[in-house]
Structure 1
Amino acid sequence: MRRREWIMSNQQPYPPYPFNQDPDATVHYRTPGGGPTPAGYGQQPGYGQQPGHGQQPGYGQQPYGYAPPQAEGPPTWQGGELGPPIQPPPPPGHRRRRRGGGWVLAVVAAVIVALVGGGGVYAMNLLSGGGTQPEDVLPGDALVYARLDLDPSAAQKLALFSLARKFPATKDSFAGDDPRKAMFEVIGKSGALDKIDYARDVQPWLGDRVGLALRAPAKENGQPEVVLAVQVTDEAAARAGLAKLNKGGDMSGLAFREGYALMAATQQAADGYAAAAPLSANADFAADLEALGEPGVLSFWGDMGRLSKIAASTAGVDRAALGLAENMRFAGALRFDSGYAELSAVTSGMRAVEATEPTRIADLPASTVGAVSISGLGDMLSKQWPELLKTIESAAGDQGGGDIVAMAQQAYGITLPDDAVTLLGKNLTVAVDEKGLDGDLPNVGAVLTTDPAKAQEVVAKLESVVQKSGTGVPQIAKVAADGRLVLASSQDYAARLAQDGTLGDSETFKTAIPDAGSASTALYVDLDKIEKYYLNGLQGDERASLETLKAVGVSGRQSGGTGSFSLRVLFN
C-alpha cells in the first residue's frame, strides 16, 4: 500500500487530483502473485543501498501535471497492476492483465509515456531501479570505472521519457522497444556479432546494467587489465551466450557474483575478482560518488593520481607535467531532468589556483545571446608563469623563452607577464548581444575586472600597434567603471555592459547555470535567440528537433582541492 501523490503542473489547467477523488487516497499495488506487497517493495532507497549515497533532494523531480487517464482500467507494471484508489472487488470472471515476459523498462516506458502524454505522473516511487550495481562486484583496486544503467532511478526514467517525447525521432520509441536489442543491433553493424541471434542467444539472460573496470598492469610496462561486469538473469544461459559472443576473444575467464557475469583475460583472474573486495567498498570511490549525487544513466570514475604514476613509470612521461593531477580523482555522470540533459563531474585532490572573484556573467544584459566568464586567470598566469616560461623555452629550442618575451615587448610594447596579468585580471567576461546580430557590426564586448587605469594603458599599447599596421580595425569603445574596464564594438553597448544587467533573472539562465554567483567559470548560449539564423532551409523532423533545443550552459567551481563541473543542454 503506497500513498499516491498527484503533482499539479504549472502548464495544465487541471487540479492536482481528479475532482471526485480524495487526495489522501492510497494507491493499490498488486504483486505478481496477487498477495500483499512485500515491505519496502518499489521504494526508492539511496543509490547502491549506501546511506546518503546518491540522495540529492529535488534532483530530477520537476513538477509534472495531471490529466485524467484516457483508457479504462489501471496500467500494468512489472507483472502486477498499478491501479487507481482502491475500488470494490472485481466481478467474477474478471482477469488481471499480466505481462508475458520481456524487459521491465519497456513496460514501465509504455506506462510512463501514457501518463506523461496525458500530462500526469503518479506512483513515481514504484518505478525505481534498485538492486546491485556493477561497482558492487568489480574489484576495489580499479583505476578507472565506467557504468551503463538501462534501469536507472524513477526520476531518471520519468525525465528520459518526458524528454524523448519532445523529439520527433524518439517520441514514439518507448512503446515497448527493448533498448538492449537496439544496442545489440548497433554493435552488430560492425560485424562483431555475426551469427549471433539476439532473441535466441542474448535476450534470455541479459540484464540491464554493465560495468567496466581497468586495473593497473600486472607487470611493468604491461597493459592495464580489463574486467567486465554484465548483469545477467540466468547464469546457465549467460554462460552459453557469452561463450558465443566471446568466441576467439581475449576475455576467456568467466565467474559469477551477485547476479553479474565477471569477464577477465583468464579464469584465474575472473575467480580472483569474484572473491575480491568490491569497488563500492573503496572509501575514495564511495566519497566521490556521494559528492557526485544522482549517478544517472551513465557514470564514470577514475584515480588520476595512480594513473599519472603509472604513466610516468611506463610511458616515460615527465612527472612535472603530471603535477596538477598527481593526487586527483574524478567522478562524473550523464543524467536527465524533465527540461534538460546534464553531464556533471566532480574532482578532488587537484592542485589549482582558487578564484577569489565569482563570474560576472549573471550581470550581463538580458538581451545577451552568448557569453563566457572566467575568474582567476590573472592570478593563475602570475603563479604559473615560471613553469609556463619553461614550457615556452622547451618548445622554442635554440631560441630561448627569454628572447620570445623580449620580442613580444619590442613588437607590441607590452611587458610579460605583468601586462597580460592586468588584462586577464580577477575576471574576464566576453559577451555577444542579440541586438545588432542582423547588422554589419554585431555588439561584442568584454568586461575586465581589474585595475581600469593600468588596463587602459595596456590596451592603448595594443591599439597603437594595430593602427600602425594599417589593418583598418574599428576603434574599440571603452568605459571605465568601479574596478572594471569595459571594451566593446560600440559605445552604446559598452555603456550597457558597464551597468548591472538582469540576465541572471532569466529562468532559462538560472536552469542552464545553477548558482552562477558561486561559479568560477561559466559559458551560456541562448539558442532560442539565434535559432532563426541556423533554421533557415531546414524542414520536417530535422527542423522540429533543432527547434526543441533551448539553451546550453557550462559552469565550474573550485574550492580548495575539490571542484565541480556541469554541462547542461536545455530543451523547450
Structure 2
Amino acid sequence: MSVNNPPSGQDPDRTTAYNWNQGQQPENPPTMPMSSGGPYPPQQPYGQQAQGGYGQQPPPQQPYGQQPPYGQQPQQPQQQWQQGGWQQQQPQQGWQQEQGWQQQAQYAQGGGWQQQGPDGAGPPQPPRKGPKTWIIAVAAALAVVLLGGGAVWAVGAIGGGGAQPHEVLPADSLAYARLDLDPAANQKVALFQLARKFTATKDTFSGEDPRKALFDTITQGDDSKVDFAQDVDPWLGSRIGFAAVPSGKDEPDFAVAVQVTDEELAKAGIAKLMDGDRYGIAFRDDYALLAASQELADKYAQAEGSLGDNADFNDDIAALGEQGVLSFWAHVGSIAEATKKAMTPEQAAGLQQVKDARFAGALRFDSAYVELAGVVNGAKGMTPQGDLPPANLGVLPASTAGALSISGLDQVLTKNWANIEKQATATGSADVQQMLAQIKTRYGLELPGDLATLFGKNFTFAVDSEGLSDNQFRAGARIATDPARAQAVLDKIQQAMANGGQGAPQIAKVAGDGVFTVATTDDYAKKLAETGTLADSETFKTAIADPDEANMALFVDLDKIESLYLNSMQGDEKANAQVLKAVGMSTSMTDSSATFSLRVLVN
C-alpha cells in the first residue's frame, strides 16, 4: 500500500459530533480541551525538533460526506518539552501520571524556562489556583494519549471549516505540528474502539466527546477551577498548530495557533487558563496566536504570507498524502544550518547532503491498528549504492514469529569501509581496532569483501514460532548473495574457531540460486530456503505497508510469542499486553527520498 492509498474499508465522511450513531451534524462543532501552565515550552537549542508534530493542515471542510479518503500512515513516539531540549515521549508513558501531564513548562522570572512539577528540574512550586497545564502541553500531549502502554488515542483529520493553522503561522517556520479535533466519522469510531480495549482508558473514553475526556484526564487530581463547559467549550475551535520560528539567536521563537469561535470569550478563557503566566496574544483569521511576548504575537498576526505559501511545505504534505490524526513537518536543512555552530567539522561537512532535506509525517488510526508514516524529500546520496532490492519478508514461512530484512548492506560496507577504519583510528578506540585486526589475522578474512558477501544484497533474519514453547530455538538467515563465496567465508570462520580450540558452532547451510541460507537446525534451514507463504497471512498484510517496495522491513507477530512474556504479568498489565497483536515497519528509499510506515496492530 503506497503512502497515498487509503486502507480498505475507510469511510471518509466527517461528523461534527462525536456520536457516530446518529449520522448527522449537530449545530455546534466539538471543541478542544485546554489546560494551563507555562505559556511556552522551554526554549531549546536552535533546531531541536519534536517527533510528534509538524505537518500541514488538511484543506478546508468540504461538503459533508465528500471528504478525501483516509490515507495510511503510522504513529510515532511523541516528544514533549523539557529543560534543555526535546525529550522523546515513548508510547508506554502516555497519560499515566496521577496529574496527567506533569512535565509542565512555566515561564520563570528572570528570563528562562524552569521545569515544574514533582520530577522537574526546578524546585516544586506551591499549588496554584489555576490549571497546571497549558496549551503547549495540550498541543504535544494530544498527539499521543497512549492507551494502557500499547495503543494511541488522538483525533484529527480533515474536518470543520475555516483556515488551517499553517495558514496563519509564520512563512519561515522551521518546524510545524498540527492537530485537528474534528476527525472523520470512521476515525472517531476507531479511536473509541481502540481506547476501550485498554484498561487504562476504557472508563475515561466511555462518553461521546473525546475532547471532554481528554480535558478530564489532564486536570485529574488538579485543583483547577476551570470548568470545561463554562470556560473552554464556548470559544474553542477544533484545530491547533505549533511552529518553531527563526529568532536570529541561538534558540528559536515559538508560535501557537488555536482556532477560536469567539475572540472576546477566547481572551477571557485563555487568561483564566494561563492563571497569571506571561504570554502575548493576537488574532488572525479566527485563530488566537500565542507567543512569548505581545510584540511577537502582534508580529505574527500582522505578517504577510504564511507557512501555507511555502512551496516545499506544500510539496511534502502532498507527497505524504492524507494527514490523518496528527501531521508534522520540518525543514531538516534549515535546522541543521541553525545548529551548525555546535557541530564538529566532520558533521558540518555533511550539511551539503541535507541542506534541502525536509521531513513530513502523520499519525493515523484504523480499527485494527495505529500507524505512523512519513516521507523525506530533498536529501542527497541516501542510496549511494544505487537502487536497492526489496526486503521480501513475504517469502518466509507462515510460522514466522519475527523477522528483520535489510537490503544493500554489502554496498554500504564496501563504499564506507575506509571511513569506518578512519573513524576507528580517529576515536582512538583500541577495541574496534583490535577487533578488525583479529578478523583479518585469526579468521583469515578479507575486509570488507568477505563481510559484504555474508551480508549480501539482502540479509533477512527470521525466528520461527515452532519450538518456542519448549525452548527449541529455531532461527536462521536468508542471504541474497553468491552462495559459493558465502559458503567459503563461513568455512574459513568455522575452521579458524576449531583450530583455536573454541569449538565451532554447528550451522545448517543450504545453497540455492542466488540465495544462501543458514539456520540453527537442518529442518529449519530447508524450510527457510523454500518459498514460504507469510505474504498470505492477514496479520502480515495488515502490518507491513508496501511489502513489495520496502527496502527494509520488520515484522513481529506478538500473538505467536506472547506465551514468552504473559506468564510473568498480572492484572491490567497482562490484560493490556494481550490486546497487542503485531508490529510492522517498512521503509523504502531512493537517492533523494524515502517513505516509512510503522504499525501497531491490536486484537
TM-score range, shorter chain: 0.7 to 0.9
The equivalent residue for 2:440 is 409
The equivalent residue for 1:65 is none
- Please give the alpha-carbon distance, in whole angstroms, between the structure 1 residues aligned to 2:483 and 2:68: 43
Structure 2 letter corresponding to 1:263: L
The equivalent residue for 1:230 is 258
The equivalent residue for 1:94 is none
**Contact residue 333 and residue 344 of structure 1 kept, 8 A:** yes
**Contact residue 204 and residue 217 of structure 2 kept, 8 A:** no
Does 2:408 match 1:376? yes
- From the superposition, tell whether residues 503 and 304 of structure 1 become closer, same or farther in structure 2 (CA, over 3 Å): same
Structure 1 letter corresponding to 2:374: A
One of 48, 56, 69 as aligned partner of 2:59: 48
What TM-score results when the alignment is normalised by the length of structure 2?
0.70
**Contact residue 474 and residue 521 of structure 2 kept, 8 A:** yes
Any idea what SS the aligned residue of 1:517 has? coil
- From the superposition, tell whether residues 500 and 323 of structure 1 become closer, same or farther in structure 2 (CA, over 3 Å): farther
One of 291, 311, 331 as aligned partner of 2:360: 331
The equivalent residue for 1:311 is 339
The equivalent residue for 1:482 is 513
Shift, 1:430, TM fit? 0.2
Which is bigger in relative contact order (C-alpha 8 A, separation at least 6)? 2
Deviations 1:218-260 (Å, cap 9, x if unpaired)?
23xx21111111222221122123234445645x221111221
Deviations 1:111-130 (Å, cap 9, x if unpaired)?
xxxxxxxxxxxxxxx99445
One of 209, 218, 243 as aligned partner of 2:271: 243
Structure 2 letter corresponding to 1:382: T
Deviations 1:271-320 (Å, cap 9, x if unpaired)?
22123312122111111111112212222111101111111135556312
Any idea what SS the aligned residue of 1:365 has? coil
- Please give the alpha-carbon distance, in whole angstroms, between the structure 2 residues aligned to 1:258 and 1:141: 19
The equivalent residue for 1:273 is 300
Structure 2 letter corresponding to 1:388: I
The equivalent residue for 2:428 is 396
The equivalent residue for 1:97 is none
Query: Which region of structure 1 is more displaced relative to structure 2, 384-393 or 520-529?
Result: 384-393
- Please give the alpha-carbon distance, in whole angstroms, between the structure 2 residues aligned to 1:430 and 1:28: 48
- Please give the alpha-carbon distance, in whole angstroms, between the structure 1 residues aligned to 2:443 and 2:23: 77
One of 512, 515, 520 as aligned partner of 2:551: 520
The equivalent residue for 2:284 is 257
One of 467, 478, 496 as aligned partner of 1:436: 467
Query: Which region of structure 1 is more displaced relative to structure 2, 256-265 or 489-498?
Result: 256-265
Any idea what SS the aligned residue of 1:138 has? coil
**Contact residue 60 and residue 160 of structure 2 kept, 8 A:** no
**Contact residue 180 and residue 208 of structure 1 kept, 8 A:** no
What does residue range 34-433 of structure 1 map to in structure 2 within 5 Å?
47-49=58-60, 57=69, 59=71, 128-171=159-202, 173-176=204-207, 178-184=209-215, 186-188=217-219, 196=226, 198-219=228-249, 222-247=250-275, 249=277, 252-276=279-303, 277-313=305-341, 318-322=347-351, 324-350=353-379, 351-353=381-383, 354-396=386-428, 405-433=436-464
- From the superposition, tell whether residues 127 and 457 of structure 1 become closer, same or farther in structure 2 (CA, over 3 Å): closer
Does 2:523 match 1:492? yes
Shift, 1:262, TM fit? 0.6
Deviations 1:441-461 (Å, cap 9, x if unpaired)?
311000111111111222223
Any idea what SS the aligned residue of 1:374 has? strand
- From the superposition, tell whether residues 380 and 55 of structure 1 become closer, same or farther in structure 2 (CA, over 3 Å): farther
- Please give the alpha-carbon distance, in whole angstroms, between the structure 1 residues aligned to 2:242 and 2:275: 19
What TM-score results when the alignment is normalised by the length of structure 1?
0.73
Structure 1 letter corresponding to 2:326: L
The equivalent residue for 2:533 is 502
- Please give the alpha-carbon distance, in whole angstroms, between the structure 2 residues aligned to 1:380 and 1:293: 31
- From the superposition, tell whether residues 289 and 153 of structure 1 become closer, same or farther in structure 2 (CA, over 3 Å): farther
* Pairs aligned (count): 465
Shift, 1:146, TM fit? 1.3
Any idea what SS the aligned residue of 1:555 has? strand
- Please give the alpha-carbon distance, in whole angstroms, between the structure 1 residues aligned to 2:251 and 2:528: 54
Structure 1 letter corresponding to 2:599: R
Query: Which region of structure 1 is more displaced relative to structure 2, 180-189 or 309-318?
Result: 180-189
Q: Which has the higher helix share?
A: 1
- From the superposition, tell whether residues 127 and 301 of structure 1 become closer, same or farther in structure 2 (CA, over 3 Å): closer
Structure 2 letter corresponding to 1:385: W
- Please give the alpha-carbon distance, in whole angstroms, between the structure 2 residues aligned to 1:181 and 1:30: 18
Query: Which region of structure 1 is more displaced relative to structure 2, 134-143 or 350-359?
Result: 350-359
Any idea what SS the aligned residue of 1:48 has? coil
- From the superposition, tell whether residues 207 and 30 of structure 1 become closer, same or farther in structure 2 (CA, over 3 Å): closer
Structure 2 letter corresponding to 1:212: F
- From the superposition, tell whether residues 502 and 145 of structure 1 become closer, same or farther in structure 2 (CA, over 3 Å): same
Any idea what SS the aligned residue of 1:508 has? helix
**Contact residue 378 and residue 592 of structure 2 kept, 8 A:** yes
- Please give the alpha-carbon distance, in whole angstroms, between the structure 1 residues aligned to 2:486 and 2:61: 53
Query: Which region of structure 1 is more displaced relative to structure 2, 405-414 or 373-382?
Result: 405-414
**Contact residue 130 and residue 153 of structure 1 kept, 8 A:** no
- Please give the alpha-carbon distance, in whole angstroms, between the structure 1 residues aligned to 2:538 and 2:23: 38
